[in-house]
Amino acid sequence: TMTTGNGVLTNMAVTGSGGALVFTGPGNFEVGPGGTVTAGQRAVVSLTGISNLSYTVPAGVFRVGLKGSSGNDGAPGTSSLTLATSNTIVAGTLGVGDVSANNDGGGAELFLGQTNVLNVGSVTMSPSRADSLLQFAPGTMSPTLVLRGTNGSGPTGTWSVGTVGQRNGADRRAFTATVDLSSGTTDAAVNWLVIGQANCTSTGRGGSMLSRFTMGAGTLTTGSITVGRILGSGTNGVSGAFSGLGTLSIANPAALVTATTVSVAENTFTGTGSATKTVSGTIALSAGMLRAGTIARGAQTGTNTVVVNTSFLWTGGTVGNLAGSDLTVDTLPMTLASGTGTFQADAGRTITVNAASPIAGAGGLVKAGAGTLVLAGSNSFTGATTVQDGVVRLANSSALRSSTLAVVAGGTAEVAAFLSTTVGGLDLSGNGLVNVTSGYMTVASGLSATDLVSQILAGRGDGSWTGTSGITSSTAAADTALGTARAVGWLDNGAGSLSFAFAALGDTNLDWQVDVLDAANFLASGKFNTGAPATWFEGDFNYDGVVDVLDAADFITTGLYDQGPYNPPASVIGQVTAVPEPSAVALAAVLGGWLVVRRWRRWRSPCHVEGL
């Protein structure tokens, strides 16, 4: 144990150009002031003068920054340990800023060497009231870190980055705990990573813990990650903040973080007291990849008033499902502040961003991977949404209301069954596919009627609605295969807005029933057999740009006239009462009468020419 006496500042540097320092126990390795200490005490130890450090005590403690159980508050003195070039540490606990509860401890810094193998049961940073820092030593070239449990193969149990507890004294300052691995390459396996906690276990006044974990290149494999947490059942005082604030930052393109569960801002505080209590959790993703089974707001089982803040700041990088499982983003608002964020779903897997997880911001979204992304919330982000591969399913009427949907070859945008949804724009120039299923899509701007019809014809293909690009309907394809004529209808809404939907021939206004309104639209357009350009609304049901006898035949033979809705959701199927009159006969009578009147009027015309 390396310690100091009362009021003494100790500096220790091991110099040289090689050699090894070996500890085999059974004692602990501790750097910091000990005994009864006074404010400002610290210990500074540098082992940069040796090549190898080996500490092998599986039940031992390897610790920098400690404080005795009595004495005055130790802040702001900061103890530090800089490791050797190559380090192998086997210990039950690795501690940084590991002080006792109640009084404030000083800070502690652990600087890793070039090669670091840490086989430890747990990593504890600032477990009560202290500052802590763990990072690669500045200026170290291409440093590496391998973190495992004491057996060298399984995961480390818990890595706790910062906890603040209550205290009896007047000082309620904010503490920080920081892990910065951005300058090196990491291979870490941990059961539970906890970033930023406030834990009130007895009577006292609080403080704040601001914790940050920054991942560099390499992999961090965890069972679960908790970002921001407040817990305990004690009595928090009447003044001063009591806060657990955590941030997980992934900013390296070569970073991969995996977790079964990522929990953001967890509140399980059941104690009492009127002091302001806050828990905040932030995920900041700008590069690299985060793969998980669930990314969600943490449990909210606390019984005392707590301010809960959650944030997912996304300016780049990828969010993907955990291998072999789906991913749900639950009750966690996401902000595409700038740049482009990517959702990557593996083949056969689904990523669901639920209704309580809206996506906002000026950035854009990319869908990669052969699986499915479900957007179930009302989103307001304004950047483009590009479907590069797999499926994006729009499961909310406003899923992409402010975003241009761009689908390229290999990608499919799909409307959830029976849903009417709006997109800011639609770009299919990359030969992608839109499947409207049994739903309805409105394009707010940026698409011409000519381009829309061209894309519908591409999706129609040979008439079976099985095209591999353009706009199609899998529901129409299934019905057509059974001999029931169905299609994709379209409307020009004016002001640059267009709509298209699963439709029966003759449903001119796309309200999913064929009735007198449709007959009136067909008859009132005056386009029949004139050769004048016509739309679906005017009776062009085969997309040839005119209304003729073929369209009239399509209208008549659907058998849907005055039969009620033909496209109800499953929940209301059976509630529609069919009109007993044969619809085709009724519609034929209407159209036939109209044709007779039209021919009579033409015959009576002064300009009538026999044979016309």
In the block, residue with structure tokens 């200490």: 37
Calculate ∠ Cα 533-534-537, nearest 5°.
Answer: 165
Structure confidence at residue 67 (pLDDT): 57
What's the confidence (pLDDT) of residue 104?
56
Q: Tell me the pTM.
A: 0.90
**Could you tell me if 82 and 50 are in contact, meaning their C-beta atoms sit under 8 angstroms apart?**
no
Rounded CA-CA distance 403/399 in Å is 9
Residue 530: which of 540, 515, 519 has the closest Cα?
540
Q: Which pLDDT belongs to residue 100?
A: 57
Alpha-carbon distances, residue 247 vs 178, 255, 283, 284 (angstroms): 10, 16, 6, 7
Res. 570 pLDDT band, cuts 50 70 90: low
Specify if 528 maps to a domain. Answer: yes
Q: Is residue 108 part of a domain?
A: no
Domain-embedded: residue 587:
no
Residue 275 banded pLDDT, cuts 50, 70, 90:
confident
Q: Nearest 5°: phi and psi at 256?
A: -135, 115
Domain count, the chain: 1
Residue 95 lies in a domain: no
Q: What's the average model confidence in pLDDT over 250-262?
A: 98
- The per-residue pLDDT of the chain, averaged, comes to 87
Look at residue 79 and tell me if it is in a domain.
no
At 32-54, the pLDDT tens digits run 765 444 455 667 889 998 999 99
522 within domain boundaries: yes
The contacts of residue 163 (CB under 8 Å, 6+ apart) are: 126, 127, 128, 197, 198, 199, 209, 244
Does residue 531 contact residue 546 with C-beta atoms inside 8 Å?
yes
Instruction: Give the per-residue pLDDT at 34.
Output: 54
- 611 or 277: whose pLDDT is higher? 277
**Distance separating alpha carbons of residues 8 and 341, to the nearest angstrom:** 52
pLDDT per residue as tens digits for the range 178-214: 999 999 999 999 999 999 998 877 666 667 889 999 9
Q: Write the single-letter amino acid at 596.
A: V
In angstroms, the CA 317 to CA 290 distance is 8
At 605, is the secondary structure helix, strand, or coil? coil
- Is 529 within the bounds of a domain? yes
- The confidence score (pLDDT) of residue 98 equals 73
Q: Is residue 509 part of a domain?
A: yes
Residue 513 belongs to what domain range? Answer: 472-558
Tell me the C-alpha distance between 598 and 523, whole Å.
10
Q: Are 162 and 175 contacting, i.e. CB atoms less than 8 angstroms apart?
A: yes
Provide the pLDDT for residue 8: 35
CA-CA distance, 185 to 540, in Å (whole number)?
Answer: 63
Among the listed residues 253, 186, 249, the one whose alpha carbon sits nearest the alpha carbon of residue 221: 186
Cβ density class 254-293: b for 16+ within 10 Å, e for less: ebbbbbebbbbbbbbbebebebebbbbbbbbbbbbbbbbb
Res 31 pLDDT > 90? no
Residue 576, pLDDT score: 40
pLDDT (tens digit per residue) in 392-438: 999 999 999 999 999 999 999 999 999 999 999 999 999 999 999 99
Please tell me which residue, 222 or 271, carries the higher pLDDT value. 222
